[in-house]
């Protein structure tokens, strides 16, 4: 079991909520919206601070953290653009 508890809706429920909120949006726009949210709230925080979920035993060096931050920025930018 993950070390955290999420009270957010499941991914399929997020898609339904996004479709209801943005009724005029295309499927591609909805997937981009939900994908960006998932990366922003779940994936990128772990990339930037892997020690927060005990994926590594010690905090990364300043140089490694900078590299992780740049990677997270790149992933976020990619997730926010349509294919």
Residue at token pair 């955290």: 4
Angle (nearest 5°) at CA 34 between 2 and 54 = 25
Q: Per-residue pLDDT tens for 14-39?
A: 888 888 999 999 988 888 888 888 88
**Predicted TM-score (pTM) above 0.85:** no
Give the Cα separation of 68 and 48 in Å (integer).
5
H helix runs in 1-83, sequence order: 11-21, 27-38, 44-48, 62-79
How far apart, in whole angstroms, are the C-alpha atoms of residue 17 and residue 75? 24
Mean pLDDT, residues 3-13: 66
How far apart CA 64 and CA 59 sit, in angstroms, is 9
How many Å apart are CA 28 and CA 61, to the nearest integer?
Answer: 38
């Amino acid at each position: 079991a993950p070390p955290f508890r999420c009270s957010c809706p499941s991914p399929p429920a997020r898609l339904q909520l996004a479709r209801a909120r943005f009724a005029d949006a295309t499927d591609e726009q909805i997937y981009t919206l939900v994908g960006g949210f998932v990366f922003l709230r779940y994936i990128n925080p772990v990339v930037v601070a892997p020690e927060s979920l005990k994926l590594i035993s010690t905090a990364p060096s300043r140089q490694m953290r900078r590299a992780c931050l740049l990677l997270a920025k790149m992933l976020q930018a990619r997730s926010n653009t349509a294919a």
